[in-house]
Structure 1
Amino acid sequence: MDVLTVSGDGSTRGFIQGQARAEQIVETWEVLRMHLTANGVDVAAVADRLLRSELVATAHQFTPDLWDEATGIAAGANIDIEQVMLLCFLDEVWSFTGGLGCSVAARSRDGFIGQTMDLPIWAAGRLMVLRVQSDLAPTALIMSYPGMIGLCGANSAGLGVAVNALEQFQADSNGLGVVFIMRHLLTLTSLAHAGEFLASVPHAAGQAYTVSAPDGIATWECGPGHVQRVTAPSVDQCAHTNHLLADPTNSTRSSIRRLTALQRALDNDLDLRQTLSHEVVLTDPRTSNSGVTFAAFIANPPADYVEFADGLTLRAGSPVWESIYYSPNASHQLGQQ
């Protein structure tokens, strides 16, 4: 498993990744470029549109340290910022290619939140872990790929974030990109702070953010002009796929089938880790729309994990993502199955 520790301010963290993984970043960019071209996307035009859009200004306004991390990657890898933007604005670029997936389930009494991270085929074999250290925020373990600042993860305060794209929204270039929202959430320590942040920023793309923290679990459905918490304050468990829970119209058959499978697992008190990694409807590319990886965040990890000095732990394994383990007073781990 590729694990990279980054620390310092945003520019420094990005430069560390860019310099240390320059070859992998260039390779990842090239397979992404070919994927977009094969889907009929004019890559140069989209890159120029991203650079000239308000996405840059909005990221710089609301999450300047994270925007600096993205520009630091470009500097460290000696590539154009447009290339890093295409790697980082994953959900916004999906509006051109389709392929929404990702299924989330959480159960607070188990200290569990997990998801399938249904990435396009170009990401196969390229996943990595970013271990982000800061004097100003909890240490975080973040699932990522070269050139990206993160996909989902958990931090040493016991807060985990899982995400689903929402297919009912059109991308808005005036909003804040999903990756910057997700990464900022991982600097926080409570549901209250998460909700305040999600309500305070404009959203560039439709996305459901499920957050597990010491004070409970919650899901917010967000999109351009829309932020709504869809879980009750005392909820013990929840699930989400790629459609608005209150309005499943225009949702895909895949999203409905996956949500049904997760709700069945929750209602029957099944092992969510097993469900997310082995449930046929969640892992079959014909129903999940793309190649599937699995990331979960679970309290009370097994003993066979490598511990870092700050209490975060990591399990090595084979190529498919499995889990980040965490709790407020226990280990935090991202491993593979």
Structure 2
Amino acid sequence: MAADGQPSDVTPVPAVDACGGMLTLRTWSWGSVASRVDHQGVVRDHGLAHHEVHAREEDVFECSQLHEDVIPWRNGPAVQSFERQPSGQWQTSEVNSDLYPELAAAGSLAAALEQLAADLGVDLVVVPGGWGALVSAGIAASVPERKPLSVHIGAESRWFGVSGWSQGVELITGSTPDLADVVRAGVAWGQGRSLRELRAELPFLHSSERAEAHDRGPAAVVELQWRLMREQAAEAPDFPEFGALVEAAHVERRLRELYVFSSHWTLGFSSCTGFPFENEVAIAPSYGGGPYRVLKHPHADVISEAATAEEAVALAVTRLPAGLGPAVTGTAK
């Protein structure tokens, strides 16, 4: 980190994948995300070095936005000035015309997308992006559960980043220097093409293991998440209390059927598989010989305490609503 607080070099940042609980490496910038997000994979940010965010599960937000406290850094000539709008969003008033001549000519990313779609003879409905029309946009989908495909631009090199979300899960992500690729991706995404079809037609797009599980249904997502959580516990031998908690919770059928995630080592259990979660109960492991703690959700007030992981799990089960079944697809919203 430089003396003025700006990142001094470009590095991937470890974070928990949005609404996945998977340990991934993701680099966040002023409205752009890296092109590849894979479980425990390294993400490169294509030359951006604006501001990097460490985030745990419930602190993660969708790729089209940054937390309100994160201020985008100026970094080189690509983006000349940022202004904070009344809505609280940061927007840039200039764009590098050498990198993005079509944006400079059209006046915005949204307008450039619409013009190119017309030239290609395809229908495209462009909606506002999270960082203003100049550098961000969304491409609407006709499939109800799919959110608009989020599109952002790179700052120091030419690339367009995209991210597609459905039912609280990021299904596709990628980057390309070709705006026509973005238009084609927006059309295919909007038509409801499958992940396999999207990747086959547009090789710059990628999907995570969790996105693939989402395609198979909520039971597959829950099963994957528990496998990853148990792997995470096995990789933390210096914190056996966490491992004991994960295994004790996995033995209990009612908890095993819920979507499990962790936040600062506290296990949360959701009745839906998408973010934001529907928190039903949470359990914090023992620290330094202290008790295990049962909470309504991670970082909430303590409901009860127990001496062992098994006792804490039993107490947590009593807090579950009667008749609560396995986790379902969707979000708490």
TM-score of the pair, normalised by structure 1 = 0.29
- Which protein shows a greater Rg? 2
TM-score of the pair, normalised by structure 2 = 0.30
Bigger share in helix: 1
